[in-house]
Amino acid sequence: MAFLDHIRACNRHDLSGFRPFDVDGLRVGWIRHALAKALPSVDPAFLVTPERVTLAPELRDFEARSAAMAHAALYLAESGAIPGLRGEHYPVLPRWGAEPLMRVDRAAVVHFGIAAYGLHVNGFVRQPDGGVSLWVARRARDRLVSPGKLDNLVAGGQPIGLTLAENLVKEAAEEAGIAADLARRAAPVGAVTYLRESREGLKPDTLFLYDLELDPGFEPRNTDGEVEAFELWPLDRVAASVRDGDDWKFNVNLVVIDFLVRHGWLTPDDPDYLEIVAGLRR
């Protein structure tokens, strides 16, 4: 295992197994052929050809489009393709910053290959010797995604109706007991992107990254049941655990690698450096 292996694992995909999903002439996702063939019987708003899936052009209203997506999400739940609806909705965007074309239940996003966005906060502490330690979260064993894996101090998907700043404050309180005034000190430091095929579908994801420097006496406290424990690790241990194993949630590996690059732990002396840096942004 190496740093580059994690980046490659997050970018394995074969688009020949999918059809483009277009809304109002804009590409918004990718749908597996089997689901594409089933959609017209779920809702006649889905127009399917061997080349693509589109929503009926007369659906120009946000709520009407969202209703069609709700029918499809319910179908996925009733057919057992997803364990159930989440009741949390993601925006469907042609690009970041655009007006949402519609909304879709979070559980169905991957089945439509819709671009999803999230935020990850690296909570770190500067040591007296000048070194850096990173807060590491252990995900609860009952999580549907990556149970028991290591995670960032704070991480969460970006739902419709919240700004990134609002979502950061919400997630920081829920996941680590961080007060709003402290959460707002988190500095935006960029993003990582990847395109990963899973059993369920395609994940064209963007993770917005933040660094939050914390006092040595800070102790995180999970309030929503998603994390079972926190530990403060020196950066050498963090780096070794990513480089040499598979203990972290799949996409958090990329967030940590980016942190290692930006904080000077991973340098151009590594022969894979340029490929690593380029690979963090697909």
CATH of the domain at 25: 3.30.750.160
- Which carries the bigger pLDDT value, residue 205 or residue 282? 205
> What pTM did the predictor assign?
0.95
Residue 270 shares a structural domain with residue 195: yes
Q: What is the pLDDT of residue 41?
A: 97
Residue 123 shares a structural domain with residue 93: no
Q: Which two three-digit tokens encode residue 79?
A: 């057919």
Residue 267 shares a structural domain with residue 137: yes
Quick one: residue 269, left, alpha or beta (phi over 0 = left, psi -120 to 50 = alpha)? alpha
| Domains contained in the chain, number | 2
Residue 96 shares a structural domain with residue 195: no
Quick one: residue 54, left, alpha or beta (phi over 0 = left, psi -120 to 50 = alpha)? beta
Q: Is the pLDDT of residue 142 over 90?
A: no
As a whole number of Å, the end-to-end CA separation of the chain is: 20
Residue 131 shares a structural domain with residue 270: yes
pLDDT tens digits along 262-276: 999 999 999 999 999
CATH of the domain at 191: 3.90.79.10
Work out the widest C-alpha separation in the chain, in whole angstroms.
65
Q: What is the mean pLDDT of residues 227-256?
A: 97
CB atoms within 10 A of CB 276: 21
Contact 165, 171 (CB under 8 A): no
Q: Which two three-digit tokens encode residue 101?
A: 């074309």
Q: What is the pLDDT of residue 30?
A: 98
Residue 136 shares a structural domain with residue 253: yes
Alpha carbon distance 136, 259 (integer Å): 13
Q: What is the mean pLDDT of residues 43-72?
A: 97
Q: Is the pLDDT of residue 1 over 80?
A: no
**Per-chain mean pLDDT for the chain:** 96
Last residue of a domain, one of 70, 91, 112: 112
Contact 208, 119 (CB under 8 A): yes
Residue 245 shares a structural domain with residue 142: yes
Q: What is the pLDDT of residue 43?
A: 97
Q: What is the mean pLDDT of residues 170-195?
A: 97
Q: Beta strand pairing status for 202-213 and 116-126?
A: parallel
Last residue of a domain, one of 84, 112, 140: 112
Range in 61-75, 120-134, 139-153 with the lowest mean pLDDT = 139-153
Contact 96, 206 (CB under 8 A): yes
Q: Is the pLDDT of residue 146 over 80?
A: no
Of all residues in the chain, the percent with pLDDT exceeding 70 is 100
- Name the packing angle between helices 33-42 and 62-78 (round to 10°): 110
Q: Is the pLDDT of residue 206 over 80?
A: yes
Q: What is the pLDDT of residue 253?
A: 98
Residue-range definition of the domain harbouring residue 132: 3-10+116-279
Q: What is the pLDDT of residue 145?
A: 78
Residue 85 shares a structural domain with residue 130: no
CB atoms within 10 A of CB 278: 10
Residue 134 shares a structural domain with residue 263: yes
Last residue of a domain, one of 53, 87, 112: 112
